[in-house]
Amino acid sequence: MKFTITDNDPGSRARTGMLDTAHGVVETPAFMPVGTRGAVKALSPRDLREVSSQIILCNTYHLYMRPGEELIRDLGGLHAFMGWDGPILTDSGGYQVLSLAAMRKITEEGVSFRSHLDGSSHFLTPEKVVGIQQALGVDVAMVLDECIPYPASREYVKASTDRTVRWARRSLEASRNPDCALFGIVQGGVLKDLREDCAARLADLPFDGYAAGGLGIGEGPALLAEMGAFTAARMPEDRPRYLMGLGKPEDLIHGVRSGYDLFDCVLPTRNARNGTLYTATGKLSIKNAAFARDPRPVDEGCPCYGCRHFSRAYLRHLYVAGEILAAYLNTLHNVCYYQRLMTELRGAVRDRSSLENVAGGIWDLPEPVA
């Protein structure tokens, strides 16, 4: 993997770049639609390409649990298995260490847990997690870490962060595939000194990129924005920076302003299935009765298939009637909106225009962090 910075915004830390992987080049900053189990819900790879998606994210834990990395490897790797020929990044399963806390135990060696599918026992180590991702044949792999709960005591956060750094070293030693980039993950909760120390120790290790983890789990928008910007400023300048799991439009704009290059979140797809759509004037709930006779498209300026062919009235009808087509058209629209937002952000950096005015300036952005 090669990362080249192409432009810098003189008014912030924002930059554009080219992330060159074994399965193609990604223009950054970029948003990765989430295909947790090897599929972005309701969309095909063709749909993702049509709305200008460059790279997608899948989840190591879930693919390991079902159908298993060996089956996927034997069938030609994850790209062939899911019919996606572009770059793929896989999360390590560190978030599941948090979300499945009732079924797991963390030790220095790794994480033991019971499957959420059938209760069977499993044990993941940093080495095994890297091995799974490389067996999948992905372009970017993440180290195993613990997504620290919020709130947590300083003692807990320090112990967990120190272990994440030790796991990161073991992950590097286990990496065997030069075509699979490996990213370290900065933890430290909401304690600046611990985040700074973690970032410094990981920067001393030869990772291909760095991610900010453990944010967006209850600390509130102001602290989230502050810690995200603080962490980005302490990552190496010449490597891609990834803000994990945060995806409100305002998060993306502030994240780009703070110097991040990659983003992912389930928000656009999950909200689509719940009837919430993103438009040039803000969010719109398509299930509202006000749209029952509305002949307009969801968003006049949107090039997605749904906006080019169907009215708000029809989309509301599909949603209220429980038609599967509603999930498809709504998801296609939201992913299209997100990719258009990223295109606009890249253009704003290149043109030296204000990031605050991207997307019409409708999103409530946090204050810039020095």
- Supply the residues annotated as catalytic: 91, 264
User: What are the DSSP calls for 82-120, one per residue?
Assistant: HT--S-EEEE-SHHHHHHTGGGEEE-SS-EEEE-TTT--
Scored b (16 or more CB within 10 A) or e, 55-80 reads: bbbbbbbbbbbeeebeebbeeebbbe
Tokens representing residue 270 in the block: 């999950």
Closest CA to 176 of 141, 152, 202, 148: 141
Tokens representing residue 239 in the block: 């490597």
CA distances (Å), origin 45, targets 39, 55, 185, 279, 285: 8, 11, 28, 23, 26
How many helices (H) and strands (E) the chain has is answered by 14, 16
Tokens representing residue 259 in the block: 């110097």
| C-alpha–C-alpha distance, residues 128 and 114, integer Å | 16
Residues 6 or more apart whose Cβ sits within 8 Å of residue 278 = 249, 268, 271, 284, 299, 333, 334, 337, 338
First to last CA, the chain: 31
DSSP for residue 34: B
Helices (DSSP H) in 138-258: which residue ranges? 154-174, 192-203, 221-232, 249-258
Q: Other C-beta atoms within 10 Å of 325: how many?
A: 15
